[in-house]
Amino acid sequence: MARRPLPRILSKDSAQLARMQLARSRELARTAADSATDILHPLITVTRGLRVLASAGRRRWADTPKDRRGPLLFLAASAVMVVALMPYGPLLAVVTVMAAAAWQGRDRTPSAPAGPDASQTERLKALYDALVPYFTAPEDPAPLYAHGGEWEKAFTAYEFDDAGRVGHLVIRYPAYFPDGEPEARARVEQLLTAKAGRGREYHFDWDEEGNRLTVTVLAPLPADIPAQPFVTAPGETVLGYTDPSEVQRTLPLSYGEERIDVPPVVWRTGIRSTEPHLLAVGHPGSGTSTLLRSIALQALRHGDVLIVDGGGTGEYACLTGRDGVLAVECALAGALASLEWAARETERRLIAVNLARQAGDPPPADTRRPLWILLDRPAVFTHLAAADGRGDPQALLQVPLRHGRAANVTVVVAEQFDSAETLGDAVRQHTRARVVLGATAPQQVEAVLGAAPRTTPPARVPPGRGYARLGSGPVHRLQVPRTPDPYDDATSDADRQAVLALLPTRAPDAGAGPADLSKPAPEKTPVTAEAVAAES
């Protein structure tokens, strides 16, 4: 798929949007003018030269005394006649005049000095001197890094931003540097982050084969893109947005009247998924509940959702009684009953699929419909169950986690760092898709994802900002779409309407009590525009 243009960071303010459109119009006009100038550059040069020659001729005529103008005109006429009578004379005259005009009309502005200026050279030399203790050894007869050495040999490419700080840098280092050791890499990356300028995100690309380190300053991820329907296939869930260089796909998103393309982090579930379950870990206020709401809204398009909320804050009250939402449990008794039903439902699906395969029939329709089990802070129920003398509710997740992929059951668990040690072995073992949100140290990210990120943490961490890793793949920067609780008073009207527009209609028997989990969920009715407008 061809790479689409990079997204722009948007703002909800109409004035800001108008300024962006005006800036884009100016950019298009400037691009068209530059293209026209490149095409017409020879003609412009010759015209400028003819103007210079004409001005020189007028000055020469004005400086000539009046008694000498007659002989000068006679001499000029004689020269023109001789040239006209010569073979190829007029052609040679035109070529000579054009060459003289081109020479006189050439661009005489001084060229920009090659290489960095004094301040930039001072920055590069400071970086070089700081790297000397890390990239040198006493046994090296010709060290690349030495005190008072030449930084030009070590830095093969460099760029600076408008503020004069390093924006891109390619560093050569000796082959004996232990670039395969994470500790050695971390020391160099920490040094470069401090010396190149704090408060920015850096991407470090180590080329062990070529002994090259590429340092790139990353632009902040857009944090103001609201929740909206994503153009995805069944079984695909958008966790958030990442850098364009990390994925080979973009999603078209709408923002008002504008259309943008954003590179997504897509998590694939279903019977062919290699990462059928997900674990999200973060600090309070980092956006784990926002991630679960975003996943629930996408899952309700093609499946059924069971939500168990251990936080007890009503973050998922907007989903209660909605079509396709089997239950939203916040109490211990309801959570145990729901998880026990989920285990029995997984077993029932496995038996039904097995019997259908033995008979040579396709799987039943109720087993092909995805079932999502979303648990927010299960450690709270673990503590309450232990205090009440009951079993750990996480033990009921073993069957959905072990056999959920074959039964088309997906489990998503969100927990905080201070309670992550209470997660059961089944959760740790079978959740191969991992997400870390909030301001975290690289050691915490590596402990959850199994690999350290190749980027430095941002100075300002908005809600929903973090890292994601699917299975054994690379670690991606992640920004979760803005999916706040629409019933929260702190939610803006625009975000509230965006979330309400994605909610399914309420089930006809929503007010009769909790959903009956003893039988499969009914088919989901389509969402109409009139129902969404009435709900909002």
> Which residues line the annotated binding site for ATP?
282-289
Q: Which residue has the tokens 């979303």?
A: 374
Q: Strands 433-437 and 465-470, how do they pair?
A: antiparallel
The answer to whether 267 touches 239, Cβ cutoff 8 Å, is: yes
For 73, how many CA atoms within 13 A lie in the half-sphere containing its CB? 6
Q: Could you write out the three-class secondary structure of 262-327?
A: ECEEEEECCCCCCCCCEEEEECCCCCHHHHHHHHHHHHCCCCEEEEEECCCCCCCHHHCCECCEEE
Backbone φ, ψ for residue 454 (5° rounding)? -90, 10
For 220, how many CA atoms within 13 A lie in the half-sphere containing its CB? 13
The answer to whether 157 touches 151, Cβ cutoff 8 Å, is: no
Q: Which residue has the tokens 């804050």?
A: 313
Alpha-carbon torsion angle 256, 259, 263, 266, nearest 10 = 70
H helices present in 320-393, as ranges: 332-358, 365-368, 378-387
Residue 296's nearest CA partner among 313, 317, 281 is 317
DSSP state of 226: B
Contacts of 336 (CB under 8 A, 6+ apart): 381, 385, 390, 393, 396
Between helix 493-502 and helix 288-299 the angle, nearest 10°, is 40
